């Protein structure tokens, strides 16, 4: 006999479905009714776990950031060289595209003006942490002469994030992941990293 779902299981399932909907449709294009229908639960049950869509959205960003930061920590622990670290960083974006999704925070950035303030704060925090990791990685590569770039590491980090997020949108628009791959290869080549 299957054991009954716990509140933690239900919350996780709600977050999983909401994340998929957000990454494929956008925040403003799904409702609690969509989640309830997918999970065969009532909207009242959704409101029990996440009283408002803003609370749900904030939790989605927090969870996505935790996962992303863990992936960055894993890259750091891998002991690979700077060029491979940046390739693996780009690979995080590629993995999302291969799953027919967009970066959750990239999707939210496109809807920034309509988001509740707590979500906007969390969204900026995600990009700040992303940028912080890239800056440290770029500075290390520049100091050891393994990377070459003009300007500050912060400017290059911002260029990378903006370019990769934009390349994801265009690749999705054309249904062609090769557009993203070509852009990312050009960005890496601009840092002195050769083709894989």
Domain ranges in the chain are 57-190
pLDDT tens digit string along 136-168? 999 999 999 999 999 999 999 999 999 999 999
The C-alpha atoms of residue 135 and residue 139 are separated, in whole angstroms, by 6
CATH of domain 57-190: 1.10.357.10
Per-residue pLDDT at 6: 62
pLDDT tens digit string along 91-143? 999 999 999 999 999 999 999 999 999 999 999 999 999 999 999 999 999 99
Per-residue pLDDT at 8: 74
Measure Cα distances from 87 to 9, 83, 97, 104, 112 in Å: 34, 6, 15, 20, 28
* Backbone phi and psi for residue 86, each to the nearest 5 degrees, phi listed first: -70, -35
| Predicted structure pTM score | 0.92
Looking at the chain, the whole-number percentage of residues with pLDDT higher than 70 is 96
Measure Cα distances from 74 to 51, 135, 185, 191 in Å: 34, 17, 22, 22
Per-residue pLDDT at 46: 94
pLDDT at 1 over 50: no
Where do we find the tokens 């249904």? 175
Give 184's contacts (C-beta < 8 A, 6+ positions apart): 90, 93, 94, 164, 167
* Average pLDDT of span 27-50: 95
Per-residue pLDDT at 89: 98
Residue ranges of alpha helices (H) inside 26-152 are: 32-39, 43-49, 53-77, 82-98, 104-110, 117-143
pLDDT at 190 over 60: yes
Per-residue pLDDT at 4: 43
């Amino acid at each position: 006999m299957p054991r009954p779902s716990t509140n933690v299981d239900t919350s996780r399932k709600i977050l999983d479905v909401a994340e998929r909907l957000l990454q494929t449709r956008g925040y403003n294009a799904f409702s609690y009714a969509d989640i309830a229908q997918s999970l065969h639960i009532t909207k009242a049950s959704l409101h029990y776990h996440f009283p408002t869509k803003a609370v749900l959205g904030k939790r989605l960003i927090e969870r996505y950031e935790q996962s992303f930061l863990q992936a960055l920590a894993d890259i750091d622990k891998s002991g690979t060289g700077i060029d491979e670290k940046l390739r693996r960083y780009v690979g995080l974006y590629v993995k999302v595209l291969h799953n027919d999704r967009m970066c959750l925070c990239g999707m939210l950035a496109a809807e920034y003006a309509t988001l509740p303030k707590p979500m906007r704060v969390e969204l900026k925090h995600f990009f700040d942490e992303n940028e912080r990791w890239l800056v440290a990685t770029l500075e290390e590569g520049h100091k050891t002469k393994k990377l070459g770039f003009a300007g500050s590491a912060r400017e290059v980090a911002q260029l990378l994030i903006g370019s990769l997020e934009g390349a994801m949108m265009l690749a999705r628009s054309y249904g062609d992941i090769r557009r993203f791959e070509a852009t990312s290869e050009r960005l890496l080549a601009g840092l002195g990293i050769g083709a894989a």
